[in-house]
């Protein structure tokens, strides 16, 4: 069952790569194209992987989380603000500032996770509505404080955007890794994301904690009767979910580019949610699905790159809008079970009442 899914996902990725190789080989050598596609795929997939893992933890414990987008945006802003604050006001060096920025981003995510947990577990608010609250709140808070802190004359930075302390360095700076293709360009959060995929798999399927988490997501009443504290398990897992979304947010402003933009997460939180479903609520599946979305984005960029080489019979591929539809349509087909059936945790979305 799972092998079939991974086979299918691998097939899609190979297909997406092949399209670019077939069109682009007239201009560039094939290995160059593949390495470039792979690099784009991995970097696009990083925030998606973390976002999807965030969804896995929350939903495996029975709490639907559509607030990932808002959590990412909030963390991206506060992580960035934190790094600049330590660097500019408290005169820390660049590297410690960046690391503290990541810590603040994760904490901001945890705080948003706590809000979502309080709403959906304590107040038993419908979980999709709780997520919507987080999404709207994130847009307002980040937009408002971005203006107040960085633009207005009486702000702590005096109305001038201070220089950011840069971004987290790539692995290539470690001497013996400098010449390995693809790997040498990876940055800490990208690597951490992959490591977390395996840690999450282990935690969810090989530990007591994971067993309990899945129990409260599948049969909360049964879990309760054997003495598992359902509310506690759900709270902690939703906060973990917030931390992971926070790390994804840190990727945007501390690893990818040293700046914050209003709405810069650009819907990637929702795509993460789709990746989680695509991957059938497992960390490995979510990672694979994130790579599919990464490959689809790489396809889109590269087809524009080779626009002149696209044969007239495939002229539809010249329109990035049309190519851009692929991941969304795939998600709908997967979700509805037209291709590969998915099974969500049985108690996902339901508040638990004793």
d(CA 46, CA 32): 22
Q: 21, 88, 344, 352: which one contacts another protein (CB under 8 A)? A: 344
* Interacting positions 51-70 with another protein (CB under 8 A): 64, 66
Let me know the angle formed at the C-alpha of 108 by 141 and 93, rounded to the nearest 5 degrees: 105
The two most distant CA atoms of the chain are separated, in Å, by 66
Token reading at 11: 């097939």
* Interacting positions 212-251 with another protein (CB under 8 A): none
Residue among 73 and 240 whose Cβ is closer to another protein: 73
Residue among 216 and 298 whose Cβ is closer to another protein: 298
Residue among 124 and 206 whose Cβ is closer to another protein: 124
Part of the chain binding another protein (CB under 8 A), chosen from 199-207, 224-232, 242-250, 343-351: 343-351
Part of the chain binding another protein (CB under 8 A), chosen from 85-93, 196-204, 233-241, 332-340: 332-340
Per-position b or e across 77-104, b if 16+ CB within 10 A of its CB: bbbbbbbbbbbbeeebebeebbbbbbeb
Residue 3 Cβ vs another protein, minimum distance, rounded to whole Å? 19
Question: 230-250 vs 268-278: helix axis angle to the nearest 10?
Answer: 120
d(CA 141, CA 135): 10
Q: Is 126 in the site for another protein (CB under 8 A)?
A: yes
Let me know the angle formed at the C-alpha of 207 by 279 and 120, rounded to the nearest 5 degrees: 60
Residue 201 Cβ vs another protein, minimum distance, rounded to whole Å? 21
Count of residues of this chain found to bind another protein when the rule CB under 8 A is applied: 96
Part of the chain binding another protein (CB under 8 A), chosen from 98-106, 188-196, 234-242, 273-281: 273-281
Q: Is 107 in the site for another protein (CB under 8 A)?
A: no
């Amino acid at each position: 069952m799972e092998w079939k899914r991974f086979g299918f996902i691998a097939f899609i990725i190979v297909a997406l790569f092949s399209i670019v190789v077939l069109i682009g080989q007239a201009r560039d050598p094939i290995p160059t194209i593949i390495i470039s596609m792979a690099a784009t795929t991995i970097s696009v997939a990083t925030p998606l992987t973390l976002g999807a893992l965030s969804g896995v933890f929350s939903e495996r414990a029975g709490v639907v989380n559509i607030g990932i987008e808002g959590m990412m945006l909030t963390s991206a802003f506060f992580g960035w603000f934190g790094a600049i604050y330590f660097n500019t006001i408290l005169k820390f060096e660049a590297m410690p500032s960046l690391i503290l920025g990541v810590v603040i981003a994760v904490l901001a995510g945890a705080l948003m996770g706590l809000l979502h947990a309080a709403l959906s577990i304590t107040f038993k608010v419908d979980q999709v509505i709780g997520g919507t609250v987080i999404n709207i709140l994130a847009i307002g808070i980040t937009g408002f404080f971005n203006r107040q802190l960085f633009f207005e004359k009486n702000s702590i930075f005096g109305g001038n955007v201070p220089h950011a302390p840069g971004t987290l360095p790539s692995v290539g700076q470690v001497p013996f890794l400098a010449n390995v293709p693809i790997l040498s360009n990876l940055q800490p959060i990208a690597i951490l994301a992959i490591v977390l995929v395996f840690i999450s798999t282990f935690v969810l399927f090989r530990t007591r904690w994971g067993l309990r988490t899945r129990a409260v997501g599948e049969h909360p009443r049964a879990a309760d009767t054997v003495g598992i504290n359902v509310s506690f398990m759900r709270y902690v897992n939703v906060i973990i979910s917030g931390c992971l979304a926070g790390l994804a947010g840190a990727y945007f402003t501390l690893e990818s580019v040293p700046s914050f933009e209003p709405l810069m997460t650009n819907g990637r939180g929702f795509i993460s949610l789709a990746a989680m479903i695509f991957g059938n609520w497992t960390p490995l599946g979510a990672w694979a699905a994130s790579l599919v979305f990464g490959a689809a984005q790489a396809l889109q960029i590269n087809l524009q790159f080779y626009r002149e080489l696209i044969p007239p019979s495939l002229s539809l591929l010249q329109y990035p809008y049309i190519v851009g539809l692929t991941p969304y349509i795939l998600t709908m087909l997967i979700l509805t079970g037209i291709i590969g059936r998915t099974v969500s945790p049985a108690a996902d979305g339901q508040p638990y009442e004793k």
